Structure 1
Amino acid sequence: MSIARRARHWRALADGRVRCTLCPRRCRLAEGQRGACFVRACRDGALVLSEEAARPLGCRPDPIEKKPLYHFLPGSLTYSFGTAGCNLACRYCQNWEMSRARAAVTGSGATTDPARIVAAAGASGCRSLAFTYNDPVVFHEYALDCAAAAHAAGLYTVAVSAGYVLPAPRAEFYAVIDAANIDLKAFDDRFYRRLCGARLAPVLETLESLVHETAVWVEITTMLIPGENDDPRRLHALSAWIARHLGCEVPLHLSAFHPAHRMRDHAATSVETLVRAREIAHANGLRHVYLGNLGAEIGRDTRCATCGARLIMRAGYLMVGWALDDMGHCLVCGARCQGVFTTSTRDIVLNHPARAPT
């Protein structure tokens, strides 16, 4: 295993092993052992990061709506990439070819300097750099370098993450992130333990921290898997928790499951299931609930929470209509829509508790 650098978050143990303090797994590793994420290992009595964690995969410009982020620079492009490895072990992972990739898959190619990634993003007309596909938690150090390069070049930074990270690295990482979509996989600790190899509580802590203690724009995605996390009682509990602990303006994306990885025997999510889940979320007060990963063109538009008028119209991942004024007010009733929007001259940040409107 080629080694790129020493990890930032770890400590030595009295028995000669090292403990990783990046995520709640807190892996204890003997010499030569890799962590559950695959990309961190004990070498010469220290925790090191393998080159797989700094070798970008899947680099390409995407609509920001594909992350999904619907209230952060809608209509813009973001430069997306991931690496190998993941600190969760989701049996239904939709990107398992990357998240579960090993050296045989990632052995070719060289580590890419952050400046090259940022240059490619700028050349593609992107307004932001997105850490996605696998979880940026596992390439923490490389993501910090890329975020610094992005901000220096005038780009925003986006993280798509399961939020499974300990407080100290979480604070360090999200200090350089402008927007995040956090995957709240279910409101059920048993689901997390059985299907993801993780726990629910640290994810909820991450969400509360981001919304109340940082300036990060936050949206949430929950993929509904038939028979696993689509029970109406659980959906009620999930949306009620978001409303009570995060606020009714935080956008929730309900996404359809398609058979993948180790859960190919499960049926795909029906449109009816997603529509029912959206009704439950609305009943609990959530104002912006979207449906995704469907063939049907429903549940994509942003509507005014006050009068119901369509504010941002979408076809697939493309923005095709806009009905907000230059200060983000509904053109019908004048109410403000919470989000990070853009005009011809400047970005306007609206109604976020951690930011002052400009």
Structure 2
Amino acid sequence: MRCDLCFHHCEIDEGKRGFCLSRGNKNGKIVPLNYGEITSLALDPIEKKPLRRFYPHSLILSVGSYGCNLKCPFCQNYEISYDTGKEVYMHLTPQELVHQALRLKPQGNIGIAFTYNEPFVSFEYMYETFVLAKKQDLKTVIVTNGTIEKPYLEKILPYVDAMNIDLKGFRQEIYETLSGDLETVKQCIEMSYPKTHVEVTTLIVPMLNDSYLDMGKEATYLASLSPDLPLHITRAFGRYKMTTFQATDLAVINRMYGIAKESLHYVYKGNV
């Protein structure tokens, strides 16, 4: 069976998993093996997503599962992104997750954000949750790497209030080191921006995507969609397979920020 959710188009044998480790062939059908399997659940500030121009100073119930369709050697959440379910600590149906979100409204919760691991590998669960959430006037947020095929994105966008999309670099060569595809991410940004609130994040990793020339091209590209599109330029810390550096040099982040500000109105520095 072939999974058509993302650009990998995995051919998956019966009883096996795809590249993301969270979708598999079960009884001749591609299914999300992580449906309702929760590894992370927290009431977070919206700025942590990061979203700076969407209901600032509010809180949102943030939920994660396991699995990811990229393989970033610097992954900040590799314990769940490259897991097969060992870190699951609870199961919640879409109805139960929406109930949790409603119960937290008195504490300032505005909705549900799928984050921590890659949300789109849990597409069916996220979609069903969002349909229910919108009926309860809850805000819906996706924090994603943007590698989702067009028909699935078109299906869920009417139920999405905001997205933060990772743009991990502005050359396909960078994405090839992550088993990714730049054009798919650009398509996600271009399709989503006219229909929902979008902010973009680029995590600056030394010796990988820290080219000033690339940042200039990236900012120009985003400004071609709108100079009001917010960009987060974020400092990386050595994690997973990239522990030879402690943190991205602040001077590099500051220079990137200055370059981006030449094209974009809203640029933010993260992890500084």
The TM-score, its normalising length taken from structure 1, stands at 0.73
Instruction: Give the match for residue 346 of structure 1.
Output: none
Q: Distance in 1 between matches of 2:110 and 2:16?
A: 39
1:285-324 equivalence runs, <5 A: 285-294=263-272
Alignment equivalent of 2:45, drawn from 63, 70, 83: 63
Instruction: Give the match for residue 242 of structure 1.
Output: 222
Q: Distance in 1 between matches of 2:87 and 2:43?
A: 23
Q: Distance in 2 between matches of 1:206 and 1:162?
A: 9
CA contact 2:236–2:271 (8 Å) conserved in 1: yes
Q: Distance in 1 between matches of 2:109 and 2:87?
A: 28
Instruction: Give the match for residue 172 of structure 2.
Output: 189
Alignment equivalent of 1:272, drawn from 251, 262, 266: 251
Q: Distance in 2 between matches of 1:98 and 1:55?
A: 11
Alignment equivalent of 1:198, drawn from 166, 169, 180: 180
Instruction: Give the match for residue 154 of structure 1.
Output: 137
Q: Distance in 2 between matches of 1:169 and 1:122?
A: 27
Q: Distance in 2 between matches of 1:242 and 1:105?
A: 36
CA contact 2:203–2:235 (8 Å) conserved in 1: yes
Alignment equivalent of 1:217, drawn from 193, 197, 202: 197
User: What code does the residue aligned with 2:13 have?
Assistant: A
CA contact 1:130–1:159 (8 Å) conserved in 2: yes
Question: SS of the residue aligned with 1:205?
Answer: helix
Shift of 1:87: 1.1
Q: Distance in 2 between matches of 1:235 and 1:27?
A: 32
Aligned pair 1:72/2:54, yes or no? yes
Question: SS of the residue aligned with 1:203?
Answer: helix
Instruction: Give the match for residue 145 of structure 1.
Output: 128
Q: Distance in 2 between matches of 1:90 and 1:258?
A: 13
Instruction: Give the match for residue 109 of structure 2.
Output: 126
Identity of aligned residues (%): 34
User: What code does the residue aligned with 1:218 have?
Assistant: V
Shift of 1:44: 2.3
CA contact 2:36–2:94 (8 Å) conserved in 1: no
Q: Distance in 1 between matches of 2:93 and 2:35?
A: 12
Shift of 1:26: 0.4
Instruction: Give the match for residue 101 of structure 1.
Output: 83
CA contact 1:56–1:83 (8 Å) conserved in 2: yes
Structure 2: 5+ residue runs without aligned partners? none
User: What code does the residue aligned with 2:166 have?
Assistant: D
Shift of 1:94: 0.6
Alignment equivalent of 1:88, drawn from 64, 70, 79: 70
User: What code does the residue aligned with 2:15 have?
Assistant: G
The TM-score, its normalising length taken from structure 2, stands at 0.95
Q: Distance in 1 between matches of 2:125 and 2:85?
A: 18
CA contact 1:53–1:138 (8 Å) conserved in 2: no
Q: RMSD of aligned C-alpha atoms?
A: 1.3
Please list the CA deviations of residues 173-207 of structure 1 after superposition, one character each: whole Å capped at 9, or x if unmatched.
2221110000000001111111x111111000111
CA contact 2:39–2:87 (8 Å) conserved in 1: no
Find the structure with the greater CA-based Rg.
Answer: 1
Q: Distance in 2 between matches of 1:184 and 1:103?
A: 27
User: What code does the residue aligned with 1:256 have?
Assistant: R
Question: SS of the residue aligned with 1:276?
Answer: helix
Structure 1: 5+ residue runs without aligned partners? 1-17, 295-358
Instruction: Give the match for residue 206 of structure 2.
Output: 226
**Larger helix fraction of residues:** 2
Q: Distance in 2 between matches of 1:32 and 1:122?
A: 37
Please list the CA deviations of residues 5-26 of structure 1 after superposition, one character each: whole Å capped at 9, or x if unmatched.
xxxxxxxxxxxxx111100010
Question: SS of the residue aligned with 1:105?
Answer: coil
CA contact 1:53–1:84 (8 Å) conserved in 2: no
Q: Distance in 2 between matches of 1:63 and 1:166?
A: 29
